[in-house]
A and B are shown apart, each in its own frame.
Chain A
Amino acid sequence: MAALAAEGTARGLATTRACALWGLDAQLVRVEVDVAPGLPSMHVVGLADAAIREARERVRSAVRNSGFEFPLRRITVNLAPADRRKEGTGFDLAIAVGVLRASGQLQSTADPLLVAELALDGSLRPVRGCLPRVAAAAARGVDEVVVSRENASEAAAVDTLAVRAARTLREVVAHLDSTAPIVGEPAAPLGEDTSGGEVDFADIAGQASARRALEIAAAGGHNVLLVGPPGTGKTLLARAFPGILPAFTPRERFEASVVHSVAGLLGPDRPLLAARPYRAPHHTLSAYALVGGASPPRPGEVSLAHRGALFLDELPEYPAAALEALREPLEDGRITISRAGAAATYPARTILVAAMNPCACGFFGDAERECRCLPEQVARYRARISGPLLDRIDLRVGVPRVQAAALRSVSAEPSHAIRERVEGARRAARARGVLANAELPLSALRRWSRLSDQTHALLELAVAKDRLSSRGYHRVIRVARTIADLESSAEIAELHLAEALSLRREL
């Protein structure tokens, strides 16, 4: 190791480890720092974005303000592999430690993963996407990681490596040269699954079809559209929906938390999601905010709702571009966004719960209020939901104004009872190798969905009568599979398919 030479003629070369993140894709990066004689300067190479190039200023101040010397020589930083795009502030600490090591101010050869941003005073700041970076490093055999205090509990969710949380660059150096080792963070316990609805289905009167559709949606991961006049309880039904979703498994919690980590939504008090995500973005949001962006890569609402539910109230009010962009994630369970040569892929396996009024004024078909729309306006309003988008919404129900008779009726079934049936259907899906029937690939669908002759004849009849498009064909069988699972029936019976067809009706 080259010693720091006051004359400025000695040359030093050092490496440290960092982790690059593009979208959700984490890759270990070797940070090479070369301190060479020459005019004082610092260059960062290796497909780095603006935030990384600005690391020069942060690192220089942080090093000086931590009581170290910043070498007044020619410094080159290479982030290898150099052919991969890199973004963000997560390389600061690795570059600073590399500079100290290359200039002889740090002798230790310890080589943990370093993931933190630096403040000008030398303190460590949290970075977005700490969780996927630490998890990726652990999977590649890294046994130690240094992060900021704020990222500590998030990193500790990965329990196969030692997590050291530091406040300042000085503490990191003291740990590395063993003058003041940092005690490892205890592994963060997973904690209770706190999933649940804010509203219990026991408190919702009437609405038998809507309740049934939501049960099927939860059981099979199918998307649902509630159509009805304002004040009929569409929002209430949607808010009760999380309460009938199945238990949040550790694997799902990790997957969903990774997306939230990348979006910078996790914190010291919330290292992993405690409950299935339930996102309800307002209709003023942009397509970018709904499905995510590529440059810089950021997940959108549809990915933040991964393994949970996405509630879009007043569906026709969302920008047309945003609605069209929903088609891919609803079909594939993930979204790839490409722009200006950069591409990022995010998971988006969510259940869409959409609600809409039957017309612009809201009262078309209402028994109690008068609709003020012209017929063409009603048609135009409904046409805002394009055919290809509607095709991906398997369950469509009319939510009527509940009559007093139904309001007086006996108390409705509580959420936990519905959830039990949902769990049963999900167990059947897991036996087929998926979390829900909506994810069944065609080959598996064929294998697990043998239709009786009678059921098959019904399907052919529906096609002959134009009740089913070619895209709808397999989707309706998936829903029928879920309906059969709710009854623990191995075979898809005629009534199962008939109900699935009924829910696919044009409204």
Chain B
Amino acid sequence: MILTRADPSYPAHLAQCPDAPEALHVRGAFVRGDEIAVAVVGTRSMTSYGERVACDLARDLALSGVTVVSGLAHGIDETAHRAALDAGGRTIAVLGCGLAAFHGSIARRRLLERIATGGAVVSEYDDDFAGAAWTFPVRNRIIAGLTLATVVVEAGAPSGALITAARALDYDRAVFAVPGSIYGAKSIGCHRLITEGRARLCRRAADVLAEVGAMLPARERPRLPLSPLERAVFEAVFAEARHIDEIARDAARPVEEVSATLTLLELRDLVRGVGDGRFVARVS
């Protein structure tokens, strides 16, 4: 599908940018909620710290109803897309090549298909255009333009993510950077954005939601027939991931009941295990 700037369903925030593409090739579809979108971008060679941050941020943003936008690159980008989808949220990938010319790893090609079903994959280029070194920095303006805020998770000294941040500032959108280790090279770019006063510090999704959250509609609780215990357990993991032991302690219920209940909720696609015994609700 091709959306021109004149089309009423062309993303409104992007349309405000002077250098927005005249036409967008789209697989999947934009929905109303995509107007409240946040970019989560960063390096291709992330650390496991970066992976964890990207995963937590994208998940929590998605759980709050925010659409997560990124560039489907290796590393932070793909992690953010995946975490948003896994949480049952929406995500948009902006490519630097044509929609039919994406040649990433098999895992990322699979991810692209998932995004096309649960969100949108977009490009300003013709479907068969292979992309070039210069097209990837250029598409970053679309990532910045589609979103209300850009979060840089890990970025070295020169980094594509810094270009996205610069475009976001040009468009007068908020920019956040996540601090990292002062000894490694993977967060130099983030630290520079913060020291130069161009980005605000981001420690968790709440920091970003304080900026964009006011526009979000209240999240609806599923109107499913849940037992009182199921309801209590579901509410406990509605806003953030919690460990089984914690949920049991706070609810003053035996851990075996909570454990069993989480599995029943999981098999009904209402919650999801995030590893190491922690669970979080899915958005649907």
Measuring CB to CB, which residues of chain A are less than 8 angstroms from any residue of chain B? 206-209, 211-212, 227-228, 358-359, 364-365, 370-375, 377-378, 397-400, 403, 405-406, 409, 458, 461-462, 465, 467, 483, 494-496, 498-499, 501-503, 505-507
Contact = CB atoms under 8 A, between A and B. Distances in A.
Interface stretch (B110-118, B199-207, B261-269): B261-269
A209 B276 contact: no
A459 B46 CA distance: 39
Q: Which 7 A-B pairs have the closest CB atoms?
A: A398-B277, A498-B260, A398-B276, A208-B255, A499-B260, A502-B263, A502-B259
Contacts of A207: 245
A496 B256 CA distance: 9
19 contacts: A207-B245, A209-B244, A227-B276, A358-B276, A364-B52, A374-B48, A400-B243, A400-B277, A403-B246, A467-B267, A495-B257, A496-B260, A498-B259, A498-B261, A502-B260, A502-B262, A502-B263, A503-B259, A507-B276
Given A375-B46, A375-B48, A461 B267 contact: yes
Contact of B244 (A208, A227, A373, A507): A208
A461 B263 CA distance: 11
Contacts of B48: 359, 364, 371-375, 377-378
Contacts of B248: 208
Contact of A398 (B51, B181, B260, B278): B278
A365 B244 CA distance: 15
A375 B275 CA distance: 14
B273 interface: yes
B267 A206 contact: no
B52 A398 contact: no
Nearest to B267: A461
Interface centre among B47, B256, B261 (most CB of A within 10 A): B256
A305 to B, nearest CB: 27
Contacts of B257: 495
Interface centre among A212, A373, A458 (most CB of B within 10 A): A212
A400 B278 CA distance: 9
B109 interface: no
Interface centre among B46, B267, B273 (most CB of A within 10 A): B267
Nearest to A206: B245
Contacts of A378: 48
Contact of A209 (B259, B261, B263): B259
Contacts of B256: 212, 483, 495, 499
A507 to B, nearest CB: 6
Given A208-B244, A208-B248, 20 more contacts: A207-B245, A209-B255, A209-B259, A212-B256, A227-B276, A364-B48, A365-B275, A365-B276, A365-B278, A372-B48, A374-B46, A375-B46, A398-B275, A400-B276, A461-B267, A495-B261, A495-B264, A502-B263, A505-B273, A507-B276
